[in-house]
């Protein structure tokens, strides 16, 4: 079942409303998963240099394109300018590295991954201060970075450009200075973190929302633990209201969570490396939620941010970091 539903962006480009998220998947896992995903009908793939899997994704894409199993114009590939390269002079060389790794001439969407910037050592490792906190580069200038992002559209390296993890104020500031408006803001968005104010603002400004962690990103627990962050995370697929709606439609909780997102005009990029779950996440177009069910799901909002970047201990020192909570300091 191919994803044949698209959201038309503010530049006329069409983005498939379901994509595959690829964070926290090893090279081996991702090569198999992308192969399965393309066979299942996924055309939208979301990656980033910080996920460390662009080369593996590029190998699968090359195989599919060379074999004529898919046309480049039917793929929708998203990658991002990482926080370690969030500086104007690094925009072009960084996308060129991603393109080389993905074995592509252009990406469909290039995003500023985070509003903050981190320092790295020449060997690529993060810089830390004496207290073990990541060193932040406070000179981040969104307007100057954005001017370089705009050149990527002009020179054909990216069809669309956007941002990720930007707050309403950060998007509003960008809009004052831009020639090309961001096409999307990719943010954490699910029933427990609906960010209505930000979502409504972006929609009113004709900036599409892409929802990451739409299923609650259970895999982040491992990542947090490795960084010494101790935190219990909610299981969105175990929420009684979600389970009850799923049962009523003979669908799974994950499918209900995804359907709620796309029904509200938002793009979702669930991550899975499991064949059955990958297929399940795309099989969300044969049922509809009632207005009452949508309202029930909207009422679940608890402002619980799962991806709060607490795994970058010290990131809260950056002036553009806006996700401060009890786990980040
Ligand atoms: P797996 O890759 O083993 O399927 P998110 O997209 O919110 O980051 O969530 C991804 C997490 O949810 C991963 O741990 C993934 O595990 C799991 N997951 C993805 N799809 C489903 C599904 N349909 N049902 C249950 N868990 C899922």
Mind listing the pLDDT tens digit for each residue in 204-240?
999 999 999 999 998 888 888 888 888 889 999 999 9
Q: Show the 3-state SS of the chain.
A: CCCCCEEECCCCCEEECECEECCCCCHHHHHHHHHHHHHHCCCEEECCHHHCCHHHHHHHHHHHHHCCCCCHHHCEEEEEECHHHCCHHHHHHHHHHHHHHHCCCCEEEEEECCCCCECECCCCCECECCCCCECECCCCCHHHHHHHHHHHHHCCCEEEEEEECCCHHHHHHHHHHCCCCCCEEEEECECCECCHHHHHHHHHCCCEEEEECCCCCCCHHHHHHHCCCCCCCCCHHHCHHHHHHHHHHCCCHHHHHHHHHHHCCCEECCECCCHHHHHHHHCCCCCCCCHHHHHHHHCCCCCCCCCCCCCCCCHHHCCCCCCCCCCCC
Q: Which atom of ligand 1 is nearest to the CA of 215?
A: 7
Of the pLDDT bands very low, low, confident and very high (cuts 50, 70, 90), residue 1 is low
Of all protein residues, whose CA lies closest to atom 1 belonging to ligand 1?
272
| C-alpha 271 – ligand 1 centre gap (Å) | 6
Is pLDDT above 60 for 35?
Answer: yes
Q: What is the mean pLDDT of residues 49-71?
A: 97
Report whether 171 contacts 146 (CB < 8 A).
no
| C-alpha 266 – ligand 1 centre gap (Å) | 18
Is pLDDT above 60 for 135?
Answer: yes
In the residue annotation, 51 being an active-site residue is answered as yes
Of the pLDDT bands very low, low, confident and very high (cuts 50, 70, 90), residue 13 is very high
State the pLDDT at residue 138: 97
Is pLDDT above 80 for 3?
Answer: no
- In this prediction the pTM is 0.97
Best mutation site among 270, 278, 304 for ligand 1, i.e. most ligand atoms within 8 A of its Cβ?
270
State the pLDDT at residue 329: 65
Show the ligand 1 pocket: residues with CB < 6 angstroms. 21, 213-219, 237, 252, 254, 270-274, 277, 280-281
Report whether 22 contacts 46 (CB < 8 A).
yes
| C-alpha 146 – ligand 1 centre gap (Å) | 33
Q: Which atom of ligand 1 is nearest to the CA of 277?
A: 23
């Amino acid at each position: 079942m191919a994803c044949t539903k698209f959201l038309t962006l503010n530049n006329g480009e069409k983005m498939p409303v379901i994509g595959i998220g690829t964070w926290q998947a090893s090279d081996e896992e991702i090569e198999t998963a992308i192969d399965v995903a393309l066979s299942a009908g996924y055309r939208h793939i979301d990656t980033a240099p910080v996920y460390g899997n662009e080369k593996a994704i590029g190998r699968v894409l090359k195989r599919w394109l060379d074999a004529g199993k898919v046309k480049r114009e039917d793929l929708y590939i998203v990658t991002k300018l990482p926080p370690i390269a969030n500086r104007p002079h690094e925009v072009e060389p960084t996308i060129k590295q991603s393109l080389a790794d993905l074995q592509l001439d252009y990406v469909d969407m290039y995003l500023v991954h985070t509003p903050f910037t981190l320092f790295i050592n020449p060997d690529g490792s993060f810089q830390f201060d004496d207290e073990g906190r990541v060193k932040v580069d406070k000179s981040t200038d969104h307007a100057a970075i954005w001017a370089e992002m705009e050149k990527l559209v002009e020179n054909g390296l990216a069809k669309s450009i956007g941002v990720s993890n930007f707050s309403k104020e950060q998007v509003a500031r960008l809009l004052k200075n831009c020639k090309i408006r961001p096409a999307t803001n990719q943010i954490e968005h699910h029933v427990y973190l609906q960010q209505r104010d930000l979502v409504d603002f972006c929609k009113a400004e004709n900036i599409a929302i892409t929802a990451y962690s739409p299923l609650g990103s259970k895999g982040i627990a491992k990542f947090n633990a490795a960084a010494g962050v101790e935190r219990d995370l909610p299981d969105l697929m175990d929420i009684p209201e979600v389970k009850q709606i799923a049962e009523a439609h003979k669908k799974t909780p994950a499918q209900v969570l995804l359907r709620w997102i796309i029904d509200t005009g938002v793009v979702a990029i669930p991550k899975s490396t499991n064949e059955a779950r990958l297929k399940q996440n795309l099989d969300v177009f044969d049922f509809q939620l009632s207005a009452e069910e949508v309202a029930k799901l909207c009422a679940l909002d608890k402002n619980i941010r799962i991806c709060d970047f607490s795994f970058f201990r010290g990131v809260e020192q950056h002036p553009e970091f806006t996700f401060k909570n009890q786990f980040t300091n």
